[in-house]
Structure 1
Amino acid sequence: MKKRKIEIMDTTLRDGEQTSGVSFSVSEKLSLAKLLLEELKVDRIEVASARVSDGELLAVKQITSWAKDNKYINKVEVLSFVDKGVSIDWMLEAGAKVQNLLTKGSLNHLTHQLKKTPTEHFEEIASVIALATQNGIETNVYLEDWSNGMRNSKYYVFQFLDFLATQPVKRILLPDTLGVLTHNETFDFVKAIVDKYPELHFDFHGHNDYDLSVANVMEALRAGCHGLHLTVNGMGERAGNAPLASVVAVINDFMPEIETGVKESALYKVSKLVSAFTGFGIPANKPIVGANVFTQTAGIHADGDSKNNLYFNDLLPERFGRKRQYALGKTSGKANIQKNLQELGLTLNNDELKKVTQRIIELGDKKERVTKDDLPYIISDVLDSEGYQSKAKITSYLLSHAKGLQPSAAVSVEIEGELYEEHAQGDGQFDAFMNALKRVYKTKQIELPKLIDYAVRIPPGSNSDALCETIITWDNQGKEYITRGLDSDQTVSAIKATEKMLNII
């Protein structure tokens, strides 16, 4: 069976930027535009709204300059307005070649916002499309509030589509602007339009106000739409837009008659970059890209995974450049712990395993968050065995920070019974400490992992004058480790987290 190819238009840089508090810089927009088209392989990107700001104009200029050089210029789209050519002038200055013209897709919007008749609106639209064509700009048309238009003024929508069928328009874009559609309505509305205008190209643009965006996308595809508008991490106004990662996975797994050109293995990388640029955190339980979605917690699941992968499904983490993990907590069983021990290269007999399991359950009851990296320490504590004692110990340190002087640190480290001392300066107390530590390990010809994330917080259940938790993510030759330290002093808690890293490597 020949598959039907669907166009994916990513609108993270335009509609996704309407997320409250989110604004991309010029360089961030350019970096993401390149990544979306070259790495993720989406078909088109909507990068900005015309006339918004000088910064937006500069960003689009840089994107279109790069796109022209790399033959992507017809994949770069800009939201424009029915404004007697002002948007067209802006696009010409920006070097953009495709406009997504915003028009009124419901009689309610037309009557109360524009206060115009359909004929007046259509005449103005025709004028803008003609001007765009004269200037070599391709036109797609948004029917804003189309979903409510189909609900409450269907005759107007079809009158509008009859008009657009006479115009040099490449695509007609059908947005559920307020995120109000059910999946049944989506199918019925899209099918009615596709059946009536088989020669026209229709995109569906879903919002997630009722958490129905992915279901609505599936129904729009079943009804015959030709393209989808999605955003990375589901970013967008209010509850956001239909999320790119979830939609791509759903199409690949449940709609065998349809294909996209999106590269699944790049989804997670792009997701993390967008989150870093925006400060818009990814919920841990967010499908496909969340931190916890490929983490098994229940011991029975880990046991089943060891016995013919009983708890696996088609949504394998390797598809997205990720790896399955097994969480440790009060619902952990021996199988969960065995899985983590295997990754650490540790073995325990049945009696030892039983004791360690019980300790992890006790910590879970106290709402302690146990990680794989904590296992060697739990083992050492529970079994009181020299074989599991720390091989590296930070025995003492002196940190100094005075006005007008560069922060410095002196460090004493015991490594497998031998004592080493070094001192160094740095940009801060912890940076100086790490520089001294690097000198110690340089004498042993060992390169320490790179620090790639450093987060400080009050632990769950604590208050502002209690303990401080430092969580550090390390990259050791492509493999990430997360270690935690707990102390009343922020720098000391970071040093404790660092000591754990030394024993892991």
Structure 2
Amino acid sequence: MDTTLRDGEQTTGVSFKEGEKLSVVKVLLEDVRVDRIEIASARVSEGEFKGAQRVLRWAEEKGHLDKVEILGFVDDKISLQWIADAGGKVVNLLCKGSLKHVTGQLRKTPEQHLADIKKVIANATEMGIRVNVYLEDWSNGMRSSKEYVHFMISNLSKEKVDRIMLPDTLGILDPDETYDFCREMTETYPGVKFDFHAHNDYDLAIANVFHAIKAGIRCVHTTVNGLGERAGNAPLSSVIATIKDHLKMKTNVNETQLNKVSKLVESFSGIRIPTNKPLVGEFVFTQCSGIHADGDNKNNLYFNDLLPERFGRIRQYALGKTSGKANIKKNLEDLGIELDAESLKKVTQRIIELGDKKETVTSDELPYIVADVMENDLIEQKIRVVNYSVTHTMGLRPVANISLEIEGKLYEEISDGDGQYDAFVKALRKVYKRLGKSFPKLVDYVVTIPPGGKTDALVETVITWKNKREFKTKGLDPDQNSAAIKATIRMLNIIENEFKPGLLDKILNSIT
């Protein structure tokens, strides 16, 4: 059960709009094919209600209504009516899983709390709403008030409850405790369907999910990219890979779509995926060491079961000071360039020098580096900025005035924009429109400034573009706008030269 749109939305600063929720739901249910999703909390806001209503309308049309769940509270009929009005058919009822929460927060006895829960269950049955029960703070309950936990489960198991969900609400468990506590549940109540809900406060969420399943739990909760309160929840992608590779069990999830939903949620949430995050991070299928590339060349010696193709990814070989000749050779082969040993040595040395300066080298820039090292000018700078002016006056929209030289001809344009760089790009687009040229889509924009707070520090701007393929360019300058403009001009020249007839053959013939 994926709870990105409910528990994941409790990540600080994350709030999904109506359309965003629906987009994520469509991918999770129809492309990724998770079994169930939790999309909202009842009574939160008008926006939450409209978002849930829109999702539930779509789910009913597509036959997925029974897979969509909403968190509700022990409040007689208030949450149930909210869910019913939105079109929902399943409530995940938030109850107390530890004696401390019952007495300290509700100021009630276990018997009083149980009576309140039974009343809500009866109301839900009458309204045609199915009930699952969250035992909030269950992990603390198992540590300090087991008698209370068993009192609740033994009574709830006699009610009209589909599933009892066991949350490690504060992320306190270790794998041994998880196994022991979950095993106690599955052995004591063999007829009950249990879910396990992990939090990642000690970075043990995946390990705890692994041990919960070993203990007999057959449904676990996840979020895309591990979003969630505090340190987050168990990441969907890691859970799926762990179940398949380590537990040798099957799920209904389509692995090839995990990267797709990960990028979608990254975009909507504004929470960037760490580059080294397992399975979905930008660099997790990138080999940096030249030794690794050499081993892969010879017999895939550095492959494991996590083949990138499983997750809609590809293996790459980084270019930097540790990459070595094998990495560089693989990237050149992908471009159709073959160098002799001496030329390869020179190119490798240049890339190492750039790496020492902490400059990023992309495979798209390799032909430029080859041309530069081999002292030829086959890759033309067909587009050149003659000059530009970008201004920002308080209270007025930023304006850019540009002069470009394209294949020897000058073109000038002016445009305003939402920012100085936006104005520059809009002016560029005007030039390209005049020439009947297509302008690629800007997919991502990352600015890196070294820590330390120096106002004159070099800024590296890396921009991801997409035309017929996706590629990156970078610019380096003390001024952020200038760095972005350099990256943009580099992009335009890459595109201009990309389809130049015989370019790679000319490079090859001139240096081998």
TM-score by length of 1: 0.91
Matched, 1:65 2:54: no
In 2: Cα distance, 1:463 partner to 1:136 partner:
62
Shift of 1:116: 1.6
Post-superposition Cα deviations, 1:258-316, rounded to whole Å, max 9, x if no partner, equal 21111111111111111111111111110011111011001000111111111011101
Code of the aligned partner of 1:280: I
In 2: Cα distance, 1:132 partner to 1:263 partner:
33
Post-superposition Cα deviations, 1:71-100, rounded to whole Å, max 9, x if no partner, equal 111111111111122111211222211010
In 2: Cα distance, 1:124 partner to 1:349 partner:
79
Q: Choose which of 438, 456, 466 in structure 2 pairs with 1:475.
A: 466
Shift of 1:348: 1.6
- The equivalent of 2:504 in structure 1 is none
- The equivalent of 1:276 in structure 2 is 267
Change (3 A) 1:297 1:460: farther
- The equivalent of 1:23 in structure 2 is 15
In 1: Cα distance, 2:385 partner to 2:107 partner:
77
Q: Choose which of 242, 250, 273 in structure 2 pairs with 1:259.
A: 250
Post-superposition Cα deviations, 1:221-265, rounded to whole Å, max 9, x if no partner, equal 111112111000000011100110000011121222x21111111
Q: Choose which of 212, 223, 226 in structure 2 pairs with 1:234.
A: 226
In 1: Cα distance, 2:390 partner to 2:148 partner:
73
Map 1:325-340 → 2, pairs under 5 A: 325-340=316-331
Matched, 1:368 2:367: no
Equivalent position SS for 1:218:
helix
Shift of 1:29: 1.5
- The equivalent of 1:392 in structure 2 is 382
Q: Choose which of 5, 25, 36 in structure 1 pairs with 2:28.
A: 36
Q: Choose which of 85, 89, 93 in structure 1 pairs with 2:81.
A: 89
In 1: Cα distance, 2:178 partner to 2:359 partner:
45
Equivalent position SS for 1:411:
strand
Gap runs ≥5 in structure 2: 418-422, 499-512
Shift of 1:25: 1.5
Counting aligned pairs with the same residue, the percent is 56
CA contact (8 A) 1:454 1:473 kept: yes
Shift of 1:41: 0.8
Equivalent position SS for 2:361:
coil
In 2: Cα distance, 1:264 partner to 1:411 partner:
46
Equivalent position SS for 1:219:
helix
In 1: Cα distance, 2:312 partner to 2:293 partner:
21
- The equivalent of 1:412 in structure 2 is 405
Matched, 1:123 2:129: no
Post-superposition Cα deviations, 1:327-373, rounded to whole Å, max 9, x if no partner, equal 11221110011011112222221111111212222222232222223
Post-superposition Cα deviations, 1:138-190, rounded to whole Å, max 9, x if no partner, equal 00001111111111111221111110121000000000111111111111111
In 1: Cα distance, 2:211 partner to 2:461 partner:
46
In 2: Cα distance, 1:338 partner to 1:275 partner:
33
Equivalent position SS for 1:501:
helix
- Greater CA deviation, 366-375 or 304-313? 366-375
CA contact (8 A) 1:425 1:435 kept: no
- The equivalent of 1:438 in structure 2 is 432
Equivalent position SS for 2:475:
strand
In 1: Cα distance, 2:367 partner to 2:397 partner:
42
- The equivalent of 2:147 in structure 1 is 155
Post-superposition Cα deviations, 1:105-141, rounded to whole Å, max 9, x if no partner, equal 1112112222222111111111110000000010000
- The equivalent of 2:507 in structure 1 is none
CA contact (8 A) 1:410 1:436 kept: no
In 1: Cα distance, 2:161 partner to 2:398 partner:
66
- The equivalent of 2:126 in structure 1 is 134
Post-superposition Cα deviations, 1:52-89, rounded to whole Å, max 9, x if no partner, equal 11111111111111111111111111111111221112
The aligned length equals: 487
CA contact (8 A) 2:134 2:165 kept: yes
CA contact (8 A) 2:383 2:404 kept: no
Gap runs ≥5 in structure 1: 1-8
Change (3 A) 1:57 1:404: closer
In 2: Cα distance, 1:440 partner to 1:56 partner:
45
Q: Choose which of 431, 441, 451 in structure 1 pairs with 2:442.
A: 451
Code of the aligned partner of 1:315: L
Equivalent position SS for 1:240:
coil
In 2: Cα distance, 1:426 partner to 1:457 partner:
27
Code of the aligned partner of 2:473: T
Code of the aligned partner of 2:165: L
In 1: Cα distance, 2:225 partner to 2:385 partner:
44
- The equivalent of 1:199 in structure 2 is 191
- The equivalent of 1:5 in structure 2 is none
- The equivalent of 1:354 in structure 2 is 345
In 1: Cα distance, 2:453 partner to 2:154 partner:
64
In 1: Cα distance, 2:389 partner to 2:337 partner:
35
Shift of 1:488: 4.3
